[in-house]
Chains A and B, each alone.
Chain A
Amino acid sequence: MAGFADLNVPQGADKKSLQSLLEATAHLGYSVVALNHVIDFKEKKQEIIKPVSPSELFPSLPIVQGTSKRIKVLTRLTLVVSDPSHCNLLRSTSANIRLYDIIAVFPKTEKLFHIACTTLDVDLVCINVTEKLPFYFRRPPVNMAIDRGIYFELLYTPAIKDSTMRRYTISNAISLMQICKGKNIVISSAAERPLELRGPYDVANLGLLFGLSEGEAKAAVSTNCRATMLHGETRKSACGVVYTVKKPRKVEEEETAVPACKKAKTQA
């Protein structure tokens, strides 16, 4: 079973608050988090900095509740694009972009949404949840994105903060569900404070409110997040990623597996 993941923890400047956020996520039972670095092209020239290595930030990561493992921290880059020229950056082989584990885009217009879904080499497409959608989702780009293994991200923290945003979150989510039919959805937090975080099962239940089925809602916080991570990993390699895990074997079993007569022969 894939563990729970929260793919959007904003990477603020304050190290102490980030530490308390990480501790809260581990305590709630998330086994993977991604530190999000946002670049908005509207604001002046912004440099894509190298991702801060999590092991550099924190010498000892908190242990996930219910397991004996430490929490896994990834890096994520979110590009807010409002003009087609911003996408050139993603096409060029910029060295710093390659260093991030997950790359997301936040398209502001329908045209950019279409480009992000069909041609850009990204893992996540963010859906606006804080204001009324500026465009309608159309089936061709969404289907294309599902085929390419790109996931759509919904945030839930704005819904906790404000009742107007809550309305937009739910209505935008439902209109997306009508087109994608519950497939390829990732729900994450973008919480700045520990009290804005919610447990993985709470978030899955919230998915039911967005029009997902129970299975799809749970996948939105677990397996879909894992698929996003793996999709991000394929960018660094040629075409795919294969994991092999060594299965521990018992020594006694091996001995008894050999028939008695054979054993005698090898000894002779």
Chain B
Amino acid sequence: MAAAAFERRVLQSAAEHHYLRVRLELPDGGARPNAAQFKQLVVTALRELHGEVGAALPVDVLTYEEKTLSAILRVISSGLVKLWSALTLLGFYQNRRCAFRVLQTSPFLLALSGNSRELVLD
């Protein structure tokens, strides 16, 4: 039998990407961003805190739901702290207060399919 049919792969601790599930909180009655404006907001937040290097960080918006203002972001693992801190320190959207809530983060996209914190405890 061809032994070479099997290949052993070891994932050296670090996954390539991290995924974040975030929700944008806005005061009632304000303008709600669409998907493009949402991405723009994320890049603005990165530029505000980390400058042009931060703005150049590869960040993707995988899904965005305008109704609930929640999104799943993908970022290179080395840029996770930068993206997360930029989202934390963002305080304004179009001169109105706003807040990013990071609900979950994981190196695996599948892990974002459920959230144990939303389960109702007896």
Q: A: which residues have CB within 8 A of B?
A: 28-29, 65-68, 159-161, 163, 166, 193, 195-199, 201-203, 205-206, 208-209
10 contacts between A and B (CB under 8 A): A28-B101, A65-B117, A67-B121, A68-B121, A68-B122, A160-B90, A202-B84, A202-B87, A208-B85, A209-B81
Q: Does any Cβ of A come within 8 Å of B89's Cβ?
A: yes
Check if A161 sits within 8 Å of B117, measured CB to CB: no
Chain B residue numbers with a CB within 8 Å of A209 are 81, 85
Determine, out of B9-17, B65-73, B91-99, the stretch whose residues face the partner at the interface.
B91-99
Decide if B88 is an interface residue (CB 8 Å cutoff).
yes
For window 16-57 of chain B, which residues contact chain A by CB distance below 8 Å? 25, 27, 48-49
Q: Does B102 contact A (CB under 8 A)?
A: yes
Point out which of A206, A208, A209 has the most chain B C-beta atoms below 10 A from its C-beta: A209
Determine which of B49, B88, B101 lies in contact with A205 in the assembled complex, contact meaning CB atoms within 8 Å.
Answer: B88
> 7 closest Cβ contacts across the A-B interface?
A160-B91, A202-B88, A195-B97, A205-B84, A195-B99, A209-B85, A66-B117
Chain A contacts for B121, CB-based, 8 A = 66-68
- Asked if A163 contacts B48 (CB within 8 A), the reply is yes
Evaluate contact between A198 and B88: CB separation under 8 angstroms: yes
Are B97 and A196 in touch, CB under 8 angstroms? yes
Seen from chain B, the residues whose Cβ lies within 8 Å of a Cβ on chain A are 25, 27, 48-49, 81, 84-85, 87-91, 97-99, 101-102, 117, 121-122
B91 x A196 contact (CB < 8 A): yes
Question: Main SS of the interface on chain B?
Answer: mixed
CA distance A199 to B87 in the complex (A): 12
Please, which residues of chain A bring their CB within 8 A of the CB of B27?
A: 195
Could you say which residues of chain A place their CB within 8 Å of the CB of B81? 205, 208-209
B101:A199 contact, CB within 8 angstroms? yes
Q: What's the nearest-Cβ distance from chain B to residue A187, in Å?
A: 11
Chain A nearest CB: distance from B117 CB in Å? Answer: 5
How distant is the Cα of A161 from the Cα of B99 in the complex, in angstroms?
A: 11
A206, B89: Cβ atoms closer than 8 Å: yes
- In the complex, what residues of B have CB within 8 A of residue A193's CB? 97
In the complex, the answer to whether A198 meets B117 with C-beta atoms within 8 Å is no
Contacts of A29 in B (CB 8 A): 117
* Complex partner residue of B25 from A68, A161, A195, CB under 8 angstroms: A195
Other-chain residue from A65, A68, A206 in contact with B88 (beta carbon distance below 8 A):
A206
A195-B25, A196-B91 known; A206 vs B85 contact (CB < 8 Å): yes
**Across the interface, do B85 and A205 meet the contact criterion of CB distance under 8 Å?**
yes
